[in-house]
Every structure is written in structure tokens, then in C-alpha cells.
């Protein structure tokens, strides 16, 4: 209260003490605010610059909403009034900024905005600095209104940069002309894209060049302040160059400049250089230039004494990594990991895992890397990382044997990390048979090795190992007795942990009751996981917090698909619950193992198929039926159609010009379908080119049952359309009619042909007749991932020819379409353009219509 009285005093000292008291001690929601506001209002109106200054300071330090309400209209007037003193203008600008930050809705935009922009031309540099801060913030929110500020800022900047350092009043700081203002102006320009007006643009480029040139001049002073100020401007100029990302010349110069700083004596400069380079690496123009500094950066990682600088070095390595230098970078990061600070280990682990996966040319290398990772920093390897290894091993046939061998060897170390035991248990359980031929890793040896680790592990790992054991029972009948003994032992059957006990009991029963056939089905290899975005990336993002890496990450993320939206691997418990079968109880139990997001071998889903009488239901739930047809172009099995009543599944096989398709009709309700009649409809054109033969099915389909229909297919000649499957039936008195396109397409009669590069190009040239070639350029509908693309081309039916095209990013395929009358050779070439997210697909075949059709079909796939 007394303080408020002091405010209204006419004496400067008293007023000042009052204001000081308020700005230090009063928080924004004090009851006194009203009284304070009154006093401030008087001072603002007083026209005494000192008093006005005090009042503005007070508003800026309290900055509450009530104050904003009271003064938001007032301050802009003070700011643009012609007769306001410079120092007051300065304060007013920042004060307004503060109010805008607390309550942007209360600050009215109006005619003052254009006049604020003109403050950039003010004589007094202090005013310009303050105004620039204000405009930068405002421009971020309303870029349109402040667009005119760009050209003004550029001209101001060029005046500062090119001026001799004497004519800038006292704003020359250690021989650097107005460093603060330059930095602010450069920041302001970063709110906008490169200026369109060529004159302005030229002037800006000139400025940036001058700044870069100045960096090369010998310092005018030995003082650290001089270089600091100079470099502050330089770094800001570099970030502007990176932001504009349009002048390759400047980008490369910036990169070289940063390269020099990487070896600078000043730690601060090294830190900032690493950081700026990180953003520079993501620009396509300078990526190569950044890569030339790899040795220096690696050196920094090894020798730098400051952990924050090392952290930046890791970030930069991650950003500059691509296919060409991945092995080197990953190896360096791994070796650094052994000595790394504990605080950044987990992040490095994640980064290594991501890089190893993304740039793995050779998956054996990937497996080695990850196992090394677990060995070196097992504690920091999160669950996501080892889930991912397993997903990849399962999805790729070619590394399974190698992975099994490597984990087996790794497990032989006397002390190994629990994560390694997990990976080992899982992989041996799935693929142990691939190395069982070697007497050194015979089934019994494998089992004993795993079991020797069993007692040292935590409960989840033990549970996983039990699943491995039961898988062994299937893979190696010779160790069945040993494993049954283990399962039967009291420590398992009467384990205090319910989960372990349950698994032991169930697996023991399963191994004694079930026949080998059933075992084989139940304990089949896990089906491949649907490709989806790596959960590791999500984890890294979460760790880094929003804003810092996301931009970079998005650019790097090729294996797109929404992180959370990706389909989960076969929803075992769901299907078990919905099937009313006598084994439901057992299933309920079987499916309970707490499948932790990833891939532990819960056998529940498969048990359904064993005990219920039908043996199909291949894929997980199907999404909307329109795009289903397209999905079948590159694969033969899956769910074609599904609604609340009916599910249609397909399994098909093709050889030369013949094929056979099994159609499964599943009644999803508990009521019978009556008059169930599926018909195959071929248009007249199609009929002459494609022969379909089938037998009628039973007209009643019981609730929950499934009927099967076999279609024999013969391709007489090449064809364009697809046959339609029409199904009519009665369900509870209402008539149902469903039509779907049956995915019998021309490419199903493909036979892959391997050929060498020379042959390929020779044939390619032979088919150079314009009618024989069909080309399509289209936008990528799916994320452009090399592995997926390869899989699709192989699924399409043609052979994928490696090392044929001089550009390794392109895909080349060859094959022969078989029909009863002719055989048609086909060559295809797919050129992805990652930047534009486009593909160019070229097909050359000896027949125009075939080229046309194949091109249409394949274009839909990417």
C-alpha cells in the first residue's frame, strides 16, 4: 500500500523505489493491481520521459492480464506518436511485445502496425533494435501484415554491414557494427521465405556474402568480445542461409566456414558449428559438403572434453549419415558408446539402432551391430530396440540362419545381458533348427545354453524362454523329454509367479497331449510382421521433445506409415474371443501372456485354427474393401472383403498360364445363411481370354462356419479386366447381395526371368518401338521405402534384377507372361525420385496392350 503511495509521489526517488518494489515483489494477480494501474496511467500521461520509462518498465515486468486490458490500446499510441522520446519508444515497443505475449487477443492490430514497420528506418539504432524484436514476434503470427518489413530490414542490414564501423553512433561493439541489431534483423528475415523481388534478393545475398567475407578477414582486435560479436552475426547469417535453402553457393560457403570453426580453439564456436551443421546436413545442396567433415566430427567425439559438445557431435553424425558412410559412423558411435557419458547413452543406442536399420545394405551387418550394441550397453537398450531386431529377422529369410548362429555364439559368453538372452531365446526358438545341423550347436547344446541363463533372468525373460522351450519341442523332437522334465520340475509348475506357472502347465500339457501335426501348426514360425514405422523413431522423438529433431526426423523418415496407426501383428486375443469353440477356455488362457506390444510368441491365435474345424483365416482384419483389389495385385492370400455378416478370404496359386484360387466364405453371425449362391461373372471380352471353372457350393452356411470354393483358372490370352464375384444369400429374412472384383490379374501369370545387365539392355533396346513402351509418371501414394518396393516388384511376379541399372536407386525387373496362346516377355524399370516423391515407371513388352495393363496395375502399388 505504501509502495503505491510512493508511486503517486512527484519525486523521482520515491517513485523509483515504489516501482522497483512493485516490479520485484508484486506478482501478476495481486489485488493492488488496480491502484497500481491508476498510478501508471497518470505517469504515462505525464509526458515526463523518465516517469513514462518507469511506468512502462513496471508494465513489462508485471505483465498481467489486467494490465494488458488497461494499456493495450494506450501503448501503440505512445509508440508511434511523433513526439515521443527515443528511449520511451524503445521501452514502449518492448512493453507492447510483453503484453502481446501474455494476451495476444487484447492487443489490437490496426493502423499502427504499418507505422511500426517504418520504425525500422528510425535514426536511433536502439529504437530499431526494440522494434525489430517486436516485429519479429508479431510477424510470426501475422506474416501477411508485416510483409513490408522484409525489404526495410534488408536495406537496413545492408547499411549496417557495409558501413565503415565509425558512423554508427556508439553501437559499434568491439569494432563490430551493431551486432545486436544485425542478429535481430537476420532473425526477422528468418520468418519469411527468400524475398521475391530480385533487387531486394540481390541486396540480401550481397549482405550475406559480405558477412561471410568478413569472417575471413584478420580480426581487428584480439579480445574475445570482438570475435564473439562477429561470429554471432555470422552464425545468424548462416542460419538464414540454411533457412532460405536456395543458394547452393552460399550454402557451401557456409559449410566450409563451419568446417573451419570445427577446429577452432574456442569451445563455444565448436559447439555452435556442430549445431548449425546439423541443420545444414538436411539440405540437399550441402549434404555432400557436410560429409567431407566427417573425420573432424568423429575426432571431436573422441577428444572433446565437454559433454555438451560431444552430444552435438553425436547429433551431427546422426544427421550426416547416409548409405555411403553408415558403416563407418555406426562403428564410431559404437566404439564411443563404451566410454560415453551415462546421460546420453540411451539416446546414442537409439540412434545407432535406427541408423543400422535404415542404412543396412547387408542384414548380417545389421544383426552384428545390434548384438554389439546390446553387449556394450545392454542396460540402455530399450525394449523397442530388441523388438525391432526380431521383427526384422523374422521378416527377412536371408538373415535368419546367420542371426541364429550369431546369437548362439554371443550367448556363449559367460556373462551376457538379459536383453541378449531375450533376443537369443526368441531367435533360437524360431530359427534354432537352421543351425542344428552343426554338432557344436546341436539342439541339446542350444537348450542347455539357454537354460543355463534361465535362473539369472527376470520373470518376463523367463516367460519368454519357456515359450522358446516349447518351440524347441516342436523343432527338435529329440529334446522333448529333457524339456518336459524341466517344465515338470517344481520350480516351474509351482512357481510363485502366476504367469510362469501357467505357461509351464499349459506347455507341458500341450507337449504331452498334442500330436506332432498339431504341435507343428501351433508352434509354427511366426508370420512376418506387417511393415510399419519403427517404434524406435517414435521413442527417440519422445526423448528429444517436440521441436528439436522433428523436422529433421520427418525428412529422414522413409518408412512412413503413421506411427500409432500401423496394424498390429495378428490380434490373437480378439479372434480367440469371437470364436465360439470348445477350446475357448484354453485359448483365453493361452492368449493371456502379457504380449508387450511387440512380438512374444503367444500361441493363442494359432490355437484357434487348430481346434476349430476350418484351417484358414490368414490375414488380420481387412480395412475398407475398395482398395483391397489393389492390394492383391502383389500378393495371393488374404481377406478380400469383410462386412458385419460375411468375410471372404482368398488363397491362390499360379503356375505358368494356369492357376487355382480357393475362396473362403465365412459366416460371421450366429444365424444360418440360406440360398447362398456365389457366381463368377466375366464380361464378353474377358470370357474369351480367361477361362474360369468352379463347382457350386452348399446353399446353406451355418452360423460361424466357413465354406470353401475352388476356382480353376486358365489364361488363354492377355486380358484387361478382372472377373466379378457376386454373392447372393438370405440372412434372417433379408436378401443380401454383394459384389467384389476378384483379383485375377494379368501379372499373376508372370514367370520371373533372371538375366545379366548386358542381356537386359540388349532386350530393352530391341523393344524400342514406341507402341511397345508405356511410361507413367506418378506421385508416391505410400512412403518410398526401398525394401517395400523391392518386395512389391517381386510380389508383382517379375524377377528383381540387382546391379543392372547404373543408378542403384532404380529398380529393374524382367519376366514372361504365360498364356495359352503366347508368351510375352516383359521388362520394367522403376525410377524413384525421393525429393519430389514421384516415380517414373517404364514398361516394355512385345505387346502394346500388355504393357498398358501391367503399367496400370503396377502404378497403383506405390
Partner 1 sequence: MIKAILIFNNHGKPRLSKFYQHINEDTQQQIIRETFHLVSKRDENVCNFLEGGLLIGGSDNRLIYRHYATLYFVFCVDSSESELGILDLIQVFVETLDKCFENVCELDLIFHVDKVHNILAEMVMGGMVLETNMNEIVTQIDAQNKLEKSEAGLAGAPARAVSAVKNMNLPEIPRNINIGDISIKVPNLPSFK
Please list, residue by residue across 445-456, b when 16 or more beta carbons sit within 10 angstroms of its beta carbon and e when fewer do.
bbbebbeebbee
- In angstroms, give the least distance from the CB of 853 to partner 1: 53
CA pair distance 33, 26, nearest whole angstrom: 9
- Based on the shown chain and the rule CB under 8 A, indicate whether residue 303 belongs to the binding site for partner 1: no
Stretch that binds partner 1, among 127-135, 150-158, 365-373, 400-408 (CB under 8 A): 127-135
Among 22, 33, 36, 63, binds partner 1 (CB under 8 A): 63
Among 197, 284, 306, 698, binds partner 1 (CB under 8 A): 306
CA-based nearest residue to 257, from 229, 217, 199: 217
* DSSP type of residue 714: E
CA-based nearest residue to 321, from 353, 359, 350, 357: 359
- Based on the shown chain and the rule CB under 8 A, indicate whether residue 296 belongs to the binding site for partner 1: no
Nearer to partner 1, 190 or 694 (CB): 190
Stretch that binds partner 1, among 50-58, 383-391, 602-610, 850-858 (CB under 8 A): 50-58
Task: Report the site for partner 1 in 614-673 (rule: CB under 8 A).
Answer: none
Stretch that binds partner 1, among 130-138, 208-216, 315-323, 470-478 (CB under 8 A): 130-138
Task: Report the site for partner 1 in 174-193 (rule: CB under 8 A).
Answer: 179-180, 183, 187
How many helices and strands in the chain, by DSSP H and E? 40, 16
Q: Which residues are CB-contacts of 120 (< 8 A; sequence separation ≥ 6)?
A: 128, 131, 132, 135, 149, 152, 153, 156
- In angstroms, give the least distance from the CB of 796 to partner 1: 45
- Tell me the site size for partner 1, rule CB under 8 A: 63
Among 46, 213, 221, 225, binds partner 1 (CB under 8 A): 225
Nearer to partner 1, 87 or 581 (CB): 87
Angle (deg, nearest 10), helices 224-244 and 248-262: 140
- Based on the shown chain and the rule CB under 8 A, indicate whether residue 90 belongs to the binding site for partner 1: yes
Q: The cell 491365435 sits on which residue?
A: 605
Rg (CA), the chain: 36
Nearer to partner 1, 138 or 500 (CB): 138
Cα 336 to the chain's mean position, in Å? 25
| H-type alpha helices, 340-417 | 342-358, 363-377, 383-395, 397-411
Please list, residue by residue across 553-575, b when 16 or more beta carbons sit within 10 angstroms of its beta carbon and e when fewer do.
beebbebbbeeeebeebbbbbeb
CA pair distance 283, 247, nearest whole angstrom: 11
Distances in Å between the Cα of 618 and the Cα atoms of 22, 98, 204, 225, 614 are 73, 62, 62, 70, 11
Nearer to partner 1, 27 or 835 (CB): 27
- Based on the shown chain and the rule CB under 8 A, indicate whether residue 163 belongs to the binding site for partner 1: no
Nearer to partner 1, 228 or 671 (CB): 228
Are the C-beta atoms of residues 518 and 474 closer than 8 Å to each other? no
- Based on the shown chain and the rule CB under 8 A, indicate whether residue 103 belongs to the binding site for partner 1: no
Helix H or strand E segment including 102: helix 86-102
Nearer to partner 1, 261 or 408 (CB): 261
Stretch that binds partner 1, among 12-20, 730-738, 757-765, 793-801 (CB under 8 A): 12-20
| H-type alpha helices, 565-722 | 572-578, 584-591, 604-611, 628-631, 684-689
- Based on the shown chain and the rule CB under 8 A, indicate whether residue 165 belongs to the binding site for partner 1: no
- Based on the shown chain and the rule CB under 8 A, indicate whether residue 146 belongs to the binding site for partner 1: no
Task: Report the site for partner 1 in 514-553 (rule: CB under 8 A).
Answer: 544-545, 547-548
- In angstroms, give the least distance from the CB of 94 to partner 1: 4
Question: Could you tell me the three cell numbers for 432?
Answer: 534354432
- Based on the shown chain and the rule CB under 8 A, indicate whether residue 496 belongs to the binding site for partner 1: no
Which residues contact partner 1 (rule: CB under 8 A)?
Answer: 1-2, 5-6, 11-14, 16-17, 20, 23-24, 27-28, 50, 56-57, 60-61, 63, 87, 90-91, 94-95, 97-98, 101, 125-126, 129-130, 133, 136, 169-171, 173, 179-180, 183, 187, 225, 228-229, 231-232, 235-236, 267-268, 270-272, 305-306, 308-309, 544-545, 547-548
Amino acid at each position: 500500500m505504501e509502495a503505491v503511495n510512493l508511486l503517486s509521489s512527484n519525486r523521482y526517488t520515491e517513485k523509483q523505489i515504489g516501482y522497483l518494489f512493485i516490479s520485484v515483489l508484486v506478482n501478476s494477480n495481486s489485488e493492488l493491481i488496480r491502484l497500481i494501474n491508476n498510478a501508471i496511467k497518470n505517469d504515462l500521461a505525464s509526458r515526463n520521459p523518465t516517469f513514462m520509462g518507469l511506468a512502462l518498465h513496471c508494465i513489462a515486468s508485471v505483465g498481467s492480464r489486467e494490465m494488458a486490458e488497461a494499456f493495450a490500446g494506450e501503448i501503440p499510441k505512445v509508440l508511434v506518436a511523433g513526439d515521443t522520446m527515443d528511449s520511451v519508444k524503445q521501452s514502449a515497443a518492448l512493453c507492447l511485445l510483453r503484453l502481446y505475449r501474455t494476451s495476444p487477443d487484447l492487443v489490437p492490430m490496426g493502423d499502427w502496425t504499418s507505422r511500426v514497420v517504418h520504425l525500422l528506418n528510425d535514426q536511433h539504432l536502439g529504437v530499431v533494435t526494440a522494434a525489430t524484436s517486436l516485429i519479429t514476434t508479431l510477424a510470426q503470427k501475422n506474416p501477411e501484415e508485416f510483409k513490408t518489413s522484409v525489404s526495410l530490414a534488408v536495406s537496413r542490414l545492408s547499411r549496417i554491414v557495409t558501413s565503415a564501423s565509425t558512423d554508427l553512433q556508439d553501437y559499434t561493439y568491439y569494432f563490430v557494427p551493431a551486432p545486436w541489431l544485425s542478429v535481430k534483423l537476420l532473425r526477422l528475415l528468418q520468418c519469411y521465405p527468400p524475398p521475391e523481388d530480385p533487387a531486394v534478393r540481390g541486396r540480401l545475398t550481397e549482405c550475406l556474402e559480405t558477412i561471410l567475407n568478413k569472417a575471413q578477414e584478420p580480426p581487428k582486435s584480439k579480445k574475445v568480445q570482438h570475435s564473439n560479436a562477429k561470429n554471432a552475426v555470422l552464425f545468424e547469417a548462416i542460419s538464414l542461409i540454411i533457412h532460405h535453402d536456395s543458394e547452393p553457393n552460399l550454402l557451401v560457403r557456409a559449410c566450409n566456414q563451419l568446417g573451419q570453426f570445427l577446429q577452432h580453439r574456442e569451445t563455444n564456436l565448436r559447439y555452435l558449428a556442430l549445431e548449425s551443421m546439423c541443420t545444414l546436413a538436411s539440405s540437399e545442396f550441402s549434404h555432400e559438403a557436410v560429409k567431407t567433415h566427417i573425420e573432424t566430427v568423429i575426432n571431436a567425439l573422441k577428444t572433446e572434453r565437454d559433454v555438451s559438445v560431444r552430444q552435438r557431435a553425436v547429433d551431427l553424425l546422426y544427421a550426416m549419415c547416409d548409405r555411403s558412410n553408415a558403416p563407418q559412423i555406426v562403428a564410431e558411435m559404437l566404439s564411443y558408446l563404451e566410454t560415453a557419458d551415462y546421460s546420453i547413452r540411451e539416446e546414442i543406442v537409439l540412434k545407432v539402432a535406427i541408423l543400422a536399420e535404415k542404412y543396412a545394405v547387408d542384414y548380417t551387418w545389421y544383426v552384428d551391430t545390434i548384438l554389439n550394441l546390446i553387449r556394450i550397453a545392454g542396460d540402455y537398450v530399450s525394449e523397442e530396440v530388441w523388438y525391432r531386431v526380431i521383427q526384422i529377422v523374422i521378416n527377412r529369410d536371408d538373415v535368419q540362419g546367420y542371426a541364429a548362429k550369431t546369437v548362439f555364439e554371443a550367448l556363449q559368453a559367460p556373462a551376457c545381458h538379459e536383453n541378449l538372452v531375450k533376443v537369443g531365446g526368441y531367435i533360437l526358438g524360431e530359427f534354432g533348427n537352421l543351425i542344428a545341423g552343426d554338432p557344436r550347436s546341436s539342439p541339446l547344446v542350444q537348450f542347455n545354453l539357454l537354460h543355463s541363463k534361465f535362473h539369472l533372468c527376470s520373470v518376463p525373460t523367463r516367460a519368454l524362454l519357456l515359450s522358446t522351450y516349447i518351440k524347441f519341442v516342436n523343432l527338435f523332437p529329440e529334446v522333448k523329454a529333457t524339456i518336459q522334465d524341466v517344465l515338470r520340475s517344481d520350480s516351474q509348475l509351482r512357481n510363485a509367479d502366476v504367469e510362469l506357472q501357467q505357461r509351464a502347465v499349459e506347455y507341458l500339457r500341450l507337449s504331452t497331449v498334442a500330436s506332432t501335426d498339431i504341435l507343428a501348426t501351433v508352434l509354427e514360425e511366426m508370420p512376418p510382421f506387417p511393415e510399419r514405422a519403427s517404434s524406435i523413431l517414435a521413442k527417440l522423438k519422445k526423448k528429444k521433445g517436440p521441436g528439436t529433431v522433428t523436422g529433421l526426423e520427418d525428412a529422414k523418415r522413409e518408412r512412413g506409415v503413421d506411427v500409432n496407426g500401423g496394424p498390429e501383428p495378428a490380434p490373437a486375443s480378439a479372434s480367440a474371443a469371437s470364436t465360439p469353440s470348445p477350446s475357448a477356455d484354453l485359448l483365453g488362457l493361452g492368449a493371456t501372456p502379457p504380449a508387450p506390444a511387440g512380438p512374444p510368441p503367444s500361441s493363442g491365435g494359432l490355437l484357434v485354427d487348430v481346434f476349430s474345424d476350418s484351417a484358414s483365416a490368414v490375414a488380420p482384419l481387412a480395412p475398407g474393401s475398395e482398395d483391397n483389389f489393389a492390394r492383391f495385385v502383389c500378393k495371393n492370400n488374404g481377406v478380400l472383403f469383410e462386412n458385419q455378416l460375411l468375410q471372404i478370404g482368398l488363397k491362390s496359386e499360379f503356375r505358368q498360364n494356369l492357376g487355382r484360387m480357393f475362396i473362403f466364405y465365412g459366416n460371421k453371425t450366429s444365424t444360418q445363411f440360406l440360398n447362398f449362391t456365389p457366381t463368377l461373372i466375366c464380361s464378353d471380352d474377358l470370357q474369351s481370354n480367361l477361362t474360369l471353372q468352379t463347382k457350386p457350393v452348399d446353399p446353406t452356411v451355418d452360423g460361424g462356419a466357413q465354406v470353401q470354393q475352388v476356382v480353376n483358372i486358365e489364361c488363354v490370352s492377355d486380358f484387361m479386366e478382372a472377373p466379378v464375384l457376386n454373392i447372393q444369400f438370405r440372412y434372417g429374412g433379408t436378401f443380401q447381395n454383394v459384389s467384389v472384383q476378384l483379383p485375377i490379374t494379368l501379372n499373376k501369370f508372370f514367370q520371373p526371368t533372371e538375366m545379366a545387365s548386358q542381356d537386359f539392355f540388349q532386350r530393352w533396346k530391341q523393344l524400342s518401338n514406341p507402341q511397345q513402351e508405356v511410361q507413367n509418371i506418378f506421385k508416391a501414394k505410400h512412403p518410398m521405402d526401398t525394401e517395400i518396393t523391392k518386395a512389391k516388384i517381386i510380389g508383382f511376379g517379375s524377377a528383381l534384377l540387382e546391379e543392372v541399372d547404373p543408378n542403384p536407386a532404380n529398380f529393374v525387373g524382367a519376366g514372361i507372361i504365360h498364356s495359352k496362346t503366347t508368351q510375352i516377355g516383359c521388362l520394367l524399370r522403376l525410377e524413384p525420385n525421393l525429393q519430389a516423391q514421384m516415380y517414373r515407371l517404364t514398361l516394355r513388352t512385345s505387346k502394346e496392350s500388355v504393357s498398358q495393363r501391367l503399367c496400370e496395375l503396377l502404378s497403383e502399388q506405390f
